[in-house]
Chains A and B, each alone.
Chain A
Amino acid sequence: MDWGVIIAGLLTLAIFSFLYRDNPAYKMAESLLIGVSIGYFLVITWTNTLMDLLFVPLTQDAKWPLIIPLALGVMMFGRFHKRTAPLSRIPIAVLIGSGAGVAIPAMLEARTLRQISATVGPLVTESGLPDISLIAVLVGVLTTLVYFYFSREHKGALGGAAKVGTYFLMSFFGTTFGYTVMSRMSTLIGRVEFLLSDFLRLTQ
């Protein structure tokens, strides 16, 4: 008898019991999941980040510059008292400032310029016929961008283009929805398979 499988099976059933309605078994499992997940991430963060990146290099390799992130991290504890709370703004300023500084060129390159460059291409093939797929992509990108342009009222040509953009957006949402359903369904099949074969041993 594998106690691990029995406990995993009972906890799986407790979570599934929410499908009937909110009940104590579900609440108990949910609370346990929250506690155990936080505990797990605490241990992993302590081992992989604080020990490996901070305390070991600081104490054994004498990497003194690491005192800076340590001091910034300690300032975060200032949040627990009203008088020291403003101290926590300093590490937040470092994170926000450096994140914003890196985001400007990175976002411009990866999100904007690369996407525009992939969209702009030859619209006529070597045989002289129009490339329907590339034209669809170009029209789709332009009209979808028009849909998200709110500085002018969507009337006339702008309104027409925005309406075309809606169809492209709907095709994107439909495809994304299809993939979401499939990923959830495959996880559900996995859990039901576990319950039937490993836990209840009804199937092989």
Chain B
Amino acid sequence: MGRRIAQIICFAFGALLFALYFSQHPTARSLNTAVMIDYWQIIFAITLLVGVISFVRINLSNIRRGDNRPYRIISLVGLAVMPILAIIWGIKGNSPFMWMFEYVQVPMQSTVFALLAFFVASASFRGFRARSAPAAVLLTAALLTLTSRSSLEGIVPQFITEAADWVRGNPSMAARRAILIGIGLGSLTTSLRVILGIERTWLGSDK
């Protein structure tokens, strides 16, 4: 019963939003904005609360079991500190909340991102061999991009920069365009299958 109602709602909203796309009437435009911007943002925001509660519950049960207890406690403390700071001092300019963001969250986030440079370098050292013609094309395209778009740009000959621009603007863009066309067609068929009730995996199971 619950699954049938969910499918009917999915079809109704899908058909409605599809139809609204073809209307320039102010009521249709405002309804489209209301559903796609306000409804979506509000439902996602409340879903985030559900996710946070779920995160806290899982961590608390792991703490009770003694599974990675110190790290779970640190996660929960980090999670609790931010709302507490925001409630007491607000989130403006130089508040403690923004201090935590600037000196704790941003440095760690960018360091995790930078850490991947080492793994990319080590993976390319092991895997970047021109063993076949397609691999040689991959290697050449990567080297052209690296030499023409880095600080070496002024040192390398002009024709390398021009070749890199040509590769990026033509063969590389052609493949990108074909991938985008494929994504478009794939999204189109998946959306139709979802609206028509052929694709039902999003409903989950009853177990």
Binding site for B on A (CB under 8 A): 4-5, 7-9, 11-12, 15-16, 18-19, 27-47, 49-50, 53-54, 65-66, 68-70, 72-74, 76-77, 79-80, 86-87, 89-108, 110-112, 115-116, 118-119, 133, 136-142, 144-145, 148, 165-182, 184-185, 187-188, 190-191, 194
Whether B105 pairs with A37 at a CB distance below 8 angstroms is yes
**Residue in contact with A39 in the complex, picked from B21, B49, B78, B172, CB distance below 8 Å:** B78
A-B residue pair count with CB separations less than 8 angstroms = 388
Task: Judge if B74 is at the interface, Cβ distance under 8 Å.
Answer: yes
Beta-carbon nearest neighbor of A39 in chain B: B82
A178 to B142, CA, bound (A): 5
A102: shortest Cβ distance to chain B, in Å? 5
**Residue in contact with A175 in the complex, picked from B50, B76, B79, B145, CB distance below 8 Å:** B145
Whether B55 pairs with A110 at a CB distance below 8 angstroms is no
Besides A38-B78, A175-B142, 10 other CB < 8 A contacts?
A: A15-B115, A27-B68, A35-B81, A69-B39, A96-B202, A98-B13, A100-B190, A101-B20, A112-B184, A115-B177
Task: Judge if B156 is at the interface, Cβ distance under 8 Å.
Answer: no
Binding site for A on B (CB under 8 A): 2-3, 5-7, 9-18, 20-22, 34-36, 38-50, 52-55, 68, 70-72, 74-83, 86, 91, 97, 99-118, 120-121, 124, 133-135, 137-146, 149-150, 166-185, 187-188, 190-192, 194-195, 202-204
A96: shortest Cβ distance to chain B, in Å? 5
Whether A89 pairs with B75 at a CB distance below 8 angstroms is no
Whether A148 pairs with B188 at a CB distance below 8 angstroms is no
Sample (20) of A-B pairs whose CB atoms are under 8 Å apart: A11-B107, A15-B111, A38-B78, A38-B79, A39-B80, A42-B52, A44-B91, A69-B39, A98-B36, A98-B40, A101-B20, A116-B181, A141-B177, A144-B174, A144-B178, A171-B137, A171-B141, A172-B141, A175-B145, A177-B142
**Residue in contact with A33 in the complex, picked from B105, B191, B202, CB distance below 8 Å:** B105
Beta-carbon nearest neighbor of A112 in chain B: B184
Q: With a CB–CB cut-off of 8 A, which chain B residues contact A142?
A: 178
Whether B42 pairs with A73 at a CB distance below 8 angstroms is yes
Whether B82 pairs with A36 at a CB distance below 8 angstroms is yes
**Residue in contact with B50 in the complex, picked from A33, A36, A79, A177, CB distance below 8 Å:** A79
Whether A133 pairs with B110 at a CB distance below 8 angstroms is no
Q: With a CB–CB cut-off of 8 A, which chain B residues contact A179?
A: 145, 149
Residue among A70, A89, A173 with the most chain B CB within 10 A? A89
Would you call the interface of chain B mostly helix, strand, loop, or mixed? helix
Q: With a CB–CB cut-off of 8 A, which chain B residues contact A138?
A: 174
A102 to B52, CA, bound (A): 29
Would you call the interface of chain A mostly helix, strand, loop, or mixed? helix
Whether B140 pairs with A174 at a CB distance below 8 angstroms is yes
Do A168 and B42 contact each other (CB < 8 Å), given the known contacts A32-B104, A133-B169?
no
Do A97 and B108 contact each other (CB < 8 Å), given the known contacts A50-B45, A141-B178, A168-B175?
no
A44 to B191, CA, bound (A): 31
Whether A188 pairs with B105 at a CB distance below 8 angstroms is no
B100: shortest Cβ distance to chain A, in Å? 6
Do A140 and B171 contact each other (CB < 8 Å), given the known contacts A7-B104, A16-B115, A108-B184?
yes
